[in-house]
Amino acid sequence: MTYDVVIVGAGFSAIALTINLLRTLPPSACIAVVGDDPGFGRGTAYRTEFHLHRLNVPAARMSMFPDKPNDFVDWLRRNGKPVFAEDFACRADYGLYLRDTLAALLRNRQRADVDFIKAKAICCTRREGSELVFNLDSGTMLRASNVVLALGVGSAGLPAAAAELPLRSRERVIENPWRLGWLSRVRPDDEICILGSGLTMIDQVLSLREHGHRGRISVLSRRGLVPHGHLARRETPEPPVLPNSGDISGLLRAMRQQVKQGAPWRAVVDGLRPQTQALWQSLTREQRSRFLRHGFAWWNIHRHRIAPEVAARFGALVEDGTVSVHAGYIKGMTGEGDRCRIDYRPRGTDVSASLSADWVVNCTGMERAGIAHSPLLQAMRDGGMLATDPLGLGICVDQRSQVLGPDGGRQAGVYAVGALTAGQFWEITAVPDIRAQAQDLSVVIADEVAKALPRAAQRA
Ligand SMILES: Cc1cc2nc3c(=O)[nH]c(=O)nc-3n(C[C@H](O)[C@H](O)[C@H](O)COP(=O)(O)OP(=O)(O)OC[C@H]3O[C@@H](n4cnc5c(N)ncnc54)[C@H](O)[C@@H]3O)c2cc1C
């Protein structure tokens, strides 16, 4: 049997596409969803159980369906969790909402068939004609007319200096903090050093406190910038003042000017949001690269803000000295018995400083090397089925999310969704953007499936 669509992935992108395809494909179609994560649809973001792991987008903008903005808020109310539209709900509840939304569509008998297959896809090749063939780690082979890569992006690895640590100390280095098992090994007074100061760091600090940790936590990142908080009431976004040239420095100057003239900075950042994909696409590769080098960290802390309750909790820990944030460059890591010492050069100085801790936790965020996390993507690249983004932002796709090969040509029937497509869309990591991409892509695929129906009938 040949599936009309095989979706590879088990996070929000995969569930969003499955839901949209169930609404656009005819009942005769068949879909396979291949994911290696038992919590299908939740991914790293929404499988947490901890109540202070909040969404960083208000509930009113987290509906699965852009045309039904109250869908998530209504679900929360139906489930006895009344919230206001501007509240920041728990991520765990969002995971349950996704599950229920999919289940409701699956109960409809007049729909496409869906097989959920728990496995890892390890290789994809194209047979003569246009059929695509997947090999799974279970030994199974799947055939498909269309495939969608919804793999997310991996986490960044540890700084190279960690390789110098003796084995005994390396056990105290947590490379992937999302495997939450490490928390139960931490003693209440252990000292922790977290590398990276973004959203993952905030999550881990709060998880540590929830697990009874009371010791000191040092945070080290190149710039020492920590995400800002949302306000409890959202300010109306300011219409952006765009400079005539597509120059990023000019844009940032214009934004600062708006703020100087009295516009609230959050409203200025939010006002730019509807334009960010188009702005990104208007930049040259050199301009994008400059932005990634100089503006990315600054942009991130203003754009990807945390819920007010979370900001207040984290702020209190900084205030009472439990958490200290340092800006600097790691020079080396050494073992001190069971502990680790991190030598670093504080930003803007020539001196050396060091931090000593019982645990070092890698929270350096998403992988920027492109596809190092995925043997499947590497095999597809080696087989000439895809090309990596030149700036390390996932893989090359066109405006319709269709994957481009090394010669820039469209790969028939191969698509991608989510952060893997950041090279083309930039602003494509959060729900409001991915759900729109999934909706658009489901229409493109439904069109392809409809075109193939007469051909299949002729062959039969
Ligand atoms: C902690 C956290 C909090 C967030 N909070 C918010 C928020 O509040 N609001 C918001 O809008 N966005 C938020 N985001 C952004 C979030 O990334 C997206 O909303 C979304 O979860 C991304 O989903 P994804 O499916 O693209 O990737 P992922 O969630 O990474 O899922 C990819 C899945 O594919 C599977 N997979 C990979 N390779 C294979 C393979 N070869 N075969 C089979 N399966 C494979 C992986 O196991 C994984 O389960 C948050 C992100 C994180 C990490």
Q: Is the pLDDT of residue 179 over 80?
A: no
Q: What's the chain's Rg over C-alpha atoms? A: 23
**Residue identifier of the C-alpha nearest atom 8 of ligand 1:** 55
Q: In this structure, are 347 and 288 located in the same domain?
A: no
- Shared domain for 203 and 80, answered yes or no, is no
Find the 336 Cα to ligand 1 centroid distance in Å. 36
pLDDT band at 340 (very low <50, low <70, confident <90, very high): very high
Output the pLDDT for position 456: 60
For 231-236, what is the mean pLDDT? 89
Q: 282, 303, 324 — which closes off a domain?
A: 303
150 & 11 share domain: yes
Residue 9 Cβ contacting ligand 1 at under 6 Å: yes
Ligand 1, pocket-test mutation among 117, 149, 151, most atoms within 8 A of CB: 151
Kindly state whether residue 325 falls inside one of the protein's structural domains: yes
Determine the Cα–Cα distance for residues 28 and 151; give it in Å rounded to an integer: 26
User: pLDDT digits over 377-426, tens only?
Assistant: 999 999 999 999 999 999 999 999 999 999 999 999 999 999 999 999 99
What are 135's strand-pairing partners?
A: 123, 141
* pLDDT single digits (tens) 272-303: 988 899 999 999 999 999 999 888 889 999 99
Query: Per the domain annotation, does 235 fall within a domain?
Result: no
Distance between Cα 421 and ligand 1 center (Å): 13
Residue that finishes a domain, picked among 362, 378, 405? 362
13 shares a domain with 62: yes
Given this model, what pLDDT does residue 166 score?
Answer: 79
Neighbours of 128 (CB within 10 A): 5
Ligand 1 atom with the smallest distance to the CA of 377 is 41
User: Which protein residue's CA is at the shortest distance from atom 22 of ligand 1?
Assistant: 12
> 286 and 347, same structural domain?
no
Residue 133: CB atoms within 10 A of its CB come to 16
pLDDT value, residue 243: 74
250: pLDDT strictly greater than 90: no
Query: Is there an atom of ligand 1 within 6 Å of 376 CB?
Result: yes
Element (H, E) at 249: helix 248-260
Looking at residue 369, its pLDDT comes to: 53
- 84 and 177 both lie in a single domain: no
**DSSP class of residue 36?**
S
Residues 20-48: tens digit of each pLDDT: 999 999 999 999 999 998 778 788 899 88
Q: What tokens does 434 get?
A: 């991915």
pLDDT on residue 384: 95
Instruction: Compute the distance between CA of residue 395 and CA of residue 205 in angstroms, rounded to an integer.
Output: 32
Query: What is the number of the ligand 1 atom nearest to the C-alpha of 366?
Result: 53
Asked if 283 contacts 291 with a C-beta cutoff of 8 angstroms, the reply is yes
Residues 31 and 139 in one domain: yes
Domain for residue 238, yes or no? no
Residue with CA nearest ligand 1 atom 15: 430
Residue 240 lies in a domain: no
Q: What is the pLDDT of residues 73-107, one digit of tens each?
A: 999 999 999 888 889 999 999 999 999 999 999 99
pLDDT category, 130, cuts 50, 70, 90? confident
Ligand 1 pocket, 205 CB below 6 A? no
Q: Is the pLDDT of residue 438 over 90?
A: yes
Give the model's confidence band at 454: pLDDT under 50 very low, under 70 low, under 90 confident, else very high. low
Q: What percent of the chain has pLDDT over 90?
A: 74
The pLDDT, as a whole number, for residue 168 is 80
- Is residue 275 domain-shared with residue 405, that is, in the same domain? no
Is 384 in the same domain as 357? Answer: no
User: CA 218 to CA 326: how far, in whole Å?
Assistant: 7
| Better pLDDT: 244 or 448 | 448
Q: How far is the CA of 12 from the centre of ligand 1 (A)?
A: 6
418 Cβ below 6 A of ligand 1 = yes
For ligand 1, atom 38, which residue shows the shortest CA distance? 151
Q: Do 181 and 96 fall into the same domain?
A: no
**50-74 pLDDT per residue, tens:** 888 999 999 999 999 989 999 999 9
Structure tokens at 336: 């001190």
Is position 345 within any domain?
A: yes
Tell me the C-alpha distance between 319 and 88, whole Å: 23
Domain-located, residue 241? no
Residue 337 lies in a domain: yes
| CATH label of the domain that carries residue 386 | 3.50.50.60
Which of 47, 207, 431, 437 for mutating ligand 1's site (highest number of atoms within 8 Å of CB)? 431
Q: How remote is the CA of residue 165 from the centroid of ligand 1, in Å?
A: 31
Strands 132-136, 121-126: parallel, antiparallel or unpaired by DSSP?
antiparallel
C-beta of 173 in contact with ligand 1 (< 6 A): no
Given this model, what pLDDT does residue 372 score?
A: 81
| Residue having the nearest C-alpha atom to atom 45 of ligand 1 | 9
* Beta strand extents in 300-428 (DSSP E only): 323-336, 339-346, 353-357, 359-362, 402-404, 410-416
Q: What is the mean pLDDT of the chain?
A: 91
Contact 419, 149 (CB under 8 A): no
Task: Report CA(151)–ligand 1 centroid distance (Å).
Answer: 8
The model's pLDDT over 349-361, given as tens digits with 9 standing for 90+, comes to 999 999 999 999 9
Share of the chain above pLDDT 70, in %: 97
> Do 95 and 223 have their domain in common?
no
DSSP-derived 3-state class of residue 383: coil
Helix/strand/coil for 8: strand
Is residue 407 in a domain?
A: yes
- Number of structural domains in the chain: 3
d(CA 305, CA 294): 19
Among protein residues, the one with the nearest Cα to ligand 1's atom 42 is 120
Q: How many CA atoms lie within 13 A of 88 on its CB side?
A: 20
Residue 459 in this model has a pLDDT that exceeds 60: no
How far does the centroid of ligand 1 lie from the alpha carbon of residue 154, in Å? 9
Pairing state between β 141-149 and 132-136: antiparallel
- pLDDT for 244 beyond 80: no
Domain extent at residue 286: 248-303
Instruction: Report, as an integer, the average pLDDT of 259-264.
Output: 94
Are 107 and 191 in a shared domain? no
